[in-house]
Structure 1
Amino acid sequence: MIEWSDEDLMIRDAVRGWIDAEVRPNLDALESGDLPPYDLLRGLYKTFGMDEMARASFRARKERERGDAAGDADADGGGDGERSGGGNPAMSMLPIVELCKVAPGLVSAMGVSFGLAAGTIMKRGTPEQRERWALDLLTLEKVGAWAITEPGSGSDAFGGMQATAKKVGDEYVLDGSKTFITNGPYADTIVFYCKLDDGREPRDREILTFVLDRGMDGLDQSRPLRKMGLHSSPTGELFLNDVRAGADRLLASGSGSGKDSAKQNFVTERAGVTAMALGVIEECLKLSVEYAKTRELWGQRIGDFQLIQLKLAKMEVARLNVQNLVFRHIEMQRAGRTPTLAEASAMKLYSAQAASEVAQEAVQLFGGNGYMSEYRVEQLARDAKSFQIYAGTDEIQITHIARDLLSS
């Protein structure tokens, strides 16, 4: 794949038109935090039938599993993916790219609810658990959060995890806190990672994954935290004090299952950042070219100066490289292949750095205007910086890539 197909471009233009009509007029309210993003995202889902496609895919999988149970149980092989077999993988990437040109936080809010919270339940849940929680998340009727990061753990998400689950009779009692949780303030459903309190050393304990509901006794969800960027994506903290969870809320019990599911989600999340980065790069380049053509100094447009031309040329190189990573990911999906953790880390490392550098250069090209919120490169620069931090910092990506190279 070297360019978008005609069908892809039709999808892109339709999504772009919806964004121009629904998101851009609400950008100030999203940036101020006065407007949570969820009704807008539900509008996107309904406009393009994404909710109905999710329902159809969910029901098809359910029927497939019933057939497998009645016949050969090996037919499905475990159902680890969500490919419907004939869909267009570009359909999942193009809305990400287009939304990130305007409000990257919308993609974070949507991706965590749909991709991480629902994705974990679909991969690790029983049929009853998927019916109970996942379908409403897949259609965005409910908002999901994926809670793994803690105040004292950061990049050492598993080793430094302090949240615990203690078996008491037929239930588990959960205690601990989580921070930097996307959708945390508004989540209806929370996928919560913690360690089994079984007397072993904390770093040796099994990672468990539970599904929690808003309003459970002992569960508190903070107000949105103030942060540098991604203001259209509410982020908060979770506090658990003697929260009782039955075994029906435990996903895929068994040694190592919680850590395995988290690592699978890291791959999904990091590959998705590449499409987010492409949106920011394309928008910054477009705005910079327009500005370079119209802004004049010393009687000539600034685009005629070589230093400005160098900035634009480097932006275009970054755009081409990140676009090619997106195309590669689409082709991998079509071939039924999932990136390795190292491959996803490499994609995320390069694209996150490229987006942040392009956005900063756009601010520099705009000069004093670029530092003003009236000119959108200011917002995009703040948002792009987050790509180098969440879903694993640049430093963690380097570690994963290097370990893979050294182990071969």
Structure 2
Amino acid sequence: MIEWSDEDLMIRDAVRGWIDAEVRPNLDALDAGELPPYDLIRSLYKTFGMDEMARSSFASRIARERSGEQRDDDGDRPAGGNAAMSMLPIIELCKVSPGLVTAMGVSLGLAAGTVMKRGTVEQKERWGLDLLTMDKVGAWAITEPNSGSDAFGGMQATARKVGDEYVLNGSKTFITNGPYADTIVFYCKLDDGAAGGDRRDREILTFVLDRGMPGLEQSRPLRKMGLHSSPTGELFLNDVRAGADRVLSGGSGGGKESAKQNFVTERAGVAAMSLGVIEECLKLSIDYAKKRELWGQRIGDFQLIQLKLAKMEVARINVQNLVFRHIEMQKAGRTPTLAEASAMKLYAAQAASEVAMEAVQLYGGNGYMSEYRVEQLARDAKSFQIYAGTDEIQVTHIARDLLSR
């Protein structure tokens, strides 16, 4: 794949029209954190029939599974859409408000994706459909205050078996959608009461929790540098009782393998998000370089400005090629390895952050002002190098794969 098809471009233009009508007028309220993003996301779903496609696909899938057909693993893919259709809305939304994509992606790709991959038919019917249609907001809770990048080894949240139930305790932080989530996919370690053994190696369990459960507290949105349109919060669990019907146990490898599969989904998606930021920053920079004049000539005539634009274009081509490669892999039915997804994220996230900061520099003093959109995009792009695993973690996963060959 070397370019978008005519059908892809029609989809892109339709999404752009919706963004111009629905998102841009609300951009200030979104970036101020005054407007939660969920009604806008639901509007996107209804406008393009994504909710009805999800319902139809879900019904077919459940019917297949009830008839005994082998389960598939497409729970995190937009129902009824091709590979390009899943990427184009991400790219276009990230040109304006990357936080919308983060909020949507965690609810759909991570929370719904985990339920649909790991849940029983009953669990999918109980939680999956509402998440896939965005009727309910989902959160995916793995990060803890003291674990950071050591998500599994440093995990302190526990589940202790008491009779037919589990008692959950612990806290999570930096949880996308945490303040507003209706459904929470929660990772913790099994506390089997054994005194010996390394706590780091204990089994990881995955639970599905609902807003309002006794002992579950969801914080207000945290203040942060960027991605203000994506609410982030903390979760506190104090003796939360969860029945065995809330444990996701399907698939191989348990909760740890489930989380790793989601890391692949999330990291590959960052390439599409980065492409959106890069394309928008390049477009804004070109427009500004043509209009802004110094010493009687437009700044685009100066070689240093031309160098900035040229480097932005090189980054755009490279990241677009990563996205095209990912689309071709999906068409071929192949999922990237963790190392491949990490490589995509590492390069794309760094490129987006560098391009956005260069755009700020090209704008000069205006670039530092919030009325010029490159300022917001630069703040938002920096988050790509941190969430879904920092740059340093991506390097580790890539290098381990290379050294294991």
Same fold (TM over 0.5): yes
Task: Structure 1: give runs of 5+ residues left out of the alignment.
Answer: 70-74
The aligned runs of 1:2-151 (5 Å cut-off) are 2-67=2-67, 69=68, 75-76=69-70, 78-82=71-75, 87-151=81-145
CA deviations over 1:167-218 (Å, ceiling 9, x no partner): 0000000000000000000000000000000124311210000000000000
CA distance 1:221–1:312, change in 2 (3 Å): same
Number of residue-to-residue matches in the alignment: 401
Cα distance, 1:34 vs structure 2 = 1.0
- Structure 2: which amino acid aligns with 1:166? R
Which is further off, 254-263 or 19-28?
A: 254-263
Partners in 1 of 2:11 and 2:165 — Cα distance? Answer: 48
Equivalent residue, structure 1, for 2:402: 405
Partners in 1 of 2:294 and 2:28 — Cα distance? Answer: 31
2:208 maps to 1:205:
no
Partners in 2 of 1:213 and 1:55 — Cα distance? Answer: 21
Instruction: State the TM-score, normalized to the length of structure 1.
Output: 0.97
> What is the percent sequence identity of the aligned residues?
86
Cα distance, 1:63 vs structure 2 = 1.5
CA distance 1:235–1:97, change in 2 (3 Å): same
Equivalent residue, structure 1, for 2:148: 154
Partners in 2 of 1:189 and 1:65 — Cα distance? Answer: 23
Instruction: State the TM-score, normalized to the length of structure 2.
Output: 0.97
Partner of residue 245 from structure 2, selected from 245, 248, 255: 248
Partners in 2 of 1:265 and 1:57 — Cα distance? Answer: 21
* Other structure's SS at 2:185 match: strand
Q: Which runs of 4+ in 1 moved over 3 A?
A: 82-87, 253-256
The aligned runs of 1:166-315 (5 Å cut-off) are 166-198=160-192, 199=194, 200-252=197-249, 256-315=253-312
CA contact (8 A) 1:206 1:256 kept: no
CA deviations over 1:198-250 (Å, ceiling 9, x no partner): 12431121000000000000000000000000000000000000000000000
Partners in 1 of 2:81 and 2:226 — Cα distance? Answer: 33
* Other structure's SS at 1:180 match: strand
Partners in 2 of 1:297 and 1:195 — Cα distance? Answer: 61
CA distance 1:25–1:85, change in 2 (3 Å): closer
CA deviations over 1:52-96 (Å, ceiling 9, x no partner): 1111111111111123x2xxxxx52x4223469984211110000
CA deviations over 1:293-349 (Å, ceiling 9, x no partner): 000000000000000000000000000000010000000000000000000000000
- Structure 2: which amino acid aligns with 1:277? S
Equivalent residue, structure 2, for 1:72: none
Partners in 2 of 1:377 and 1:53 — Cα distance? Answer: 35
RMSD over aligned Cα, in angstroms?
1.3
CA distance 1:86–1:122, change in 2 (3 Å): closer
Partners in 2 of 1:253 and 1:168 — Cα distance? Answer: 22
- Structure 1: which amino acid aligns with 2:72? G
* Other structure's SS at 1:291 match: helix
- Structure 2: which amino acid aligns with 1:273? V
2:158 maps to 1:164:
yes
CA distance 1:305–1:84, change in 2 (3 Å): closer
* Other structure's SS at 1:209 match: strand
